[in-house]
């Protein structure tokens, strides 16, 4: 019998999130996210500018130019976060997000956390930590499982 080394489901979907992150156009951080339900991929998202808008790789990063620290002044960034794009893609295609799981290369920020909670996500796996204690507090108050992927 031939033994094939196969990733478990969590490894499989996290590897997909890492592949999705390679499409990101953010100059500061490349993030990918995958929305899954019943072991089926429903949507993907990566961070970058909205449709038909120039990407940071073309225009440069205003947040870097203004020396804005990570996690601050999200409103002046032209990019949309991976988790936001994930939910937007699902909505655009009429895909129900309730009860699904998100695999993300980075811990969601507080804005994305609130969106994921309201989208009915039941579980979030993330690989890289992000110093956002308020996001963690909201997740601890919610019914969303929040799991560091090692």
Q: Which residues participate in catalysis according to the annotation?
A: 83
112 is in an annotated binding site: yes
Tokens of 23: 């499409």
Cα gap 64→73, rounded to integer Å: 11
Tokens of 8: 């478990």
**DSSP structural state of residue 32:** E
93 is in an annotated binding site: no
Cβ proximity of 113 and 104 under 8 Å:
no
81 is in an annotated binding site: yes
Detail the residues annotated as belonging to a binding site. Answer: 81, 109, 112
Detail the residues annotated as belonging to a binding site for Zn(2+). Answer: 81, 109, 112
């Amino acid at each position: 019998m031939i033994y094939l080394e196969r990733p478990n489901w969590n490894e499989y979907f996290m590897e997909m999130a890492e592949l999705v992150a390679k499409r990101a156009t953010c100059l500061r951080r490349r993030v990918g996210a995958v929305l899954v339900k019943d072991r089926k991929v429903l949507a993907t998202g990566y961070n970058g500018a909205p449709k038909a808008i120039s990407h940071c790789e073309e225009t440069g990063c205003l947040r870097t130019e203004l020396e804005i620290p990570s996690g601050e002044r999200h409103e002046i960034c032209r990019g949309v976060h991976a988790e936001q794009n994930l939910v937007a893609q699902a909505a655009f295609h009429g895909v129900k997000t309730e009860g699904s799981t998100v695999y993300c290369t980075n811990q969601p920020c507080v804005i994305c956390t609130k969106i994921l909670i309201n989208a009915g996500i039941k579980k979030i796996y993330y690989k890289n930590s992000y110093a956002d204690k308020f996001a963690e507090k909201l997740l601890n108050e919610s019914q969303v499982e929040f799991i560091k992927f090692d």
